[in-house]
Amino acid sequence: MARYVTTVRTTRSPEDAFAYVADLRNFAEWDPGVVAAEQVEGQGIGSDAAYEVTVKNPGRDITLRYRTVEIDVPCTIRVVAESWIFTSDDRITVKPDGTGSLVTYDAALRLNGLLRFGDMGLRIAFGRIGDRAAAGLRTALDSEAVS
């Protein structure tokens, strides 16, 4: 399994930061690996929300259906997407920090079936992908990285 975790400090309130990052339609704005994202079930952020997120992939882009599996507004959302290639399990946590907030994005990617033997290579690639997404998130939230 590959995992990438980043935390950023933003001046946005927890409610505003959560509203932005928990709405997966915004992924394409800050994650350069995302080509498009649209909501296909539910209305806005909620337990019934599902999104189709198209990600760049060598050879051919892949569209994943992310479903909200856990939500506690404005603190936490967990979304999961499964394909025959891999399972993506993303948790976003927002906590108050003075007049702003801390946003933590924790993404886990697991290859499925016999492909799981390629996890070591996936970890290396996922680190680079995560670094680009983290930089985009910092820019979108006008924030700074937290070590």
Instruction: For residue range 113-144, list pLDDT tens digits in order.
Output: 766 665 666 666 777 888 899 999 999 999 99
| Nearest C-alpha neighbor of 90 from the set 103, 81, 78 | 78
Q: For the domain with range 2-24+69-145, which CATH number is right: 3.50.30.40, 3.30.530.20, 2.40.110.10, 2.40.50.100?
A: 3.30.530.20
The answer on pLDDT for 110 being more than 70 is yes
Task: Provide the pLDDT for residue 124.
Answer: 67
The least confident of 2-11, 29-38, 110-119 is 110-119
- Give the mean pLDDT of 28-46: 95
| Nearest C-alpha neighbor of 46 from the set 13, 26, 18, 12 | 18
Mean pLDDT of all residues belonging to the chain: 91
CA 126/CA 107 separation, integer angstroms: 10
Kindly list the domain boundaries of the chain, sorted by start residue: 2-24+69-145
DSSP the chain: -EEEEEEEEESS-HHHHHHHHT-GGGHHHH-TTEEEEEEEESSSSSTT-EEEEEE--SSS-EEEEEEEEEEETTTEEEEEEE-SSEEEEEEEEEEEETTEEEEEEEEEEEE-GGGGGGHHHHHHHHHHHHHHHHHHHHHHTTEEE--
Model pTM score? 0.89
